[in-house]
Every structure is written in C-alpha cells, then in structure tokens.
A and B are shown apart, each in its own frame.
Chain A
C-alpha cells in the first residue's frame, strides 16, 4: 500500500451538493492527520486537523477510521469557492520522524454553478 492514497478525481459537482473524498494510509503509528486545500498556483493551506475519530468545522467534516486506516472529508452544501485540490496529509513514522508529513497526490474538486 502507498503511504497515502487518495481518490484520483476530478470531482465535478453542482452547487449545493454534498461531496466526500477518501484517503487511505499505510502507517498505523500515525496519530494525527490533516486535510489541506490548494488553489490553482497557490500554496497548500491547512483546512482541518484530525486527532481523534473526527472533526467538524461548519460545512466540513473529517472522519478517521483507524481500524481500516482511512480518513474522509465531507463537504456539505458545496460553494463555488470550494473548487480546489484537497490534499490528504499523514505524518511519517513514529516519534521524531512524525514531524515529516507525507502528502497525497490530491483530489481535484470543481463546483459548478
């Protein structure tokens, strides 16, 4: 299994739709996980951190399933401004090397009017 694997996308959804992305990871020692958002030709920006079973922030919900080693990101009521690439990010290794993060290849989302 790859260190971090994401849905390849692209996802094209209408405004107002609910969309979910999945991400699987291979390092069972990982303690926390992140979703980043990257707009075209810009730097990645932290969207959400996930430290336990899940996290919710407004329209965004991240869920963690440690047994199956996957994380998901759910976006409700999609807005045009949600169009971006979403990166799943997992720390490498255990203590010490967990400062290094491995980035998934990203899932592209386009929200259509």
Chain B
C-alpha cells in the first residue's frame, strides 16, 4: 500500500511566520503535488514536481514555495503566513506516467492567527 505521510495533522501559526509543511512518500513515485482544500472551492493545485530538484507552479502558487531535494520528500513553504492561508493542505504522489491516480496524505489543517 502506498503511504504518503504529512508531518503534522494540525498546525497553528502566527501571521508573518515562515511555515514548513513536510511530505514523504514511500513508493518511489516520481510525481508529487501540494493542494489546498477550502469549503466551496474544492481542491486547488499549489505546486507540483515531476522529479528531484524540479518544481512547477500550479493554479495558486502565490505566497508559497516548494523544495524537492530528495525523491521521496516534497516540502511546502509559506514564506510569510497570512490568515487567508488558513486551510487544509493535502500532499499527494503518483507514478511518473500520464493518467496515474493520486495517493494522498492525511492532510495538515493549518490555522494562521
């Protein structure tokens, strides 16, 4: 079974703090993704990566950056957290081929106060 592990289930941070969300997968997947999910807006893609050291912007990258130094780890960074970044953050991974399904971590619920 694919395991995608997110480092924190719940996180509370203050406005202006730098926040790191970590994600690790154990299936040697090439692709990794960060989404956020908000009521009424569904899942929105923030950033993704198809390979180590590679990153691409998704639909809503503003205010975020990512790091992929190792194949199994994909980190999401909030450079200066703001209250509108309060959300559920979901990491996912998939095989490198097209049309592969995503496997999600159990999410990090981030609150920025």
Q: In the docked arrangement, what's the CA distance between A106 and B101, Å? A: 17
Q: Does the CB pair B98–A42 fall under 8 Å?
A: no
A99-B94, A103-B43, A104-B42 are known contacts. Are A46 and B103 too (CB-CB below 8 A)? yes
Does B50 make an interface contact (CB < 8 A)?
Answer: yes
Number of interface residues of B (CB under 8 A): 24
Fill in one digit per residue for B69-93: 1 if any A CB lies within 8 Å of its CB, else 0.
Answer: 0000000000000000000001000
Q: Does the CB pair A106–B42 fall under 8 Å?
A: yes
Q: Does the CB pair B96–A42 fall under 8 Å?
A: no
Does B106 make an interface contact (CB < 8 A)?
Answer: yes
Report the number of A-B residue pairs with Cβ-Cβ less than 8 Å. 54
* Nearest opposing residue in chain B for A90, CB measure: B99
Q: In the docked arrangement, what's the CA distance between A79 and B100, Å? A: 29
Q: Does the CB pair A44–B104 fall under 8 Å?
A: yes
* CB<8 Å pairs between A and B, sample of 8: A31-B99, A43-B105, A43-B106, A44-B90, A45-B104, A99-B97, A100-B58, A103-B42
Q: Which residues of A contact B (CB under 8 A)?
A: 30-32, 34, 42-46, 49, 51, 87, 89, 91, 95-96, 98-101, 103-106
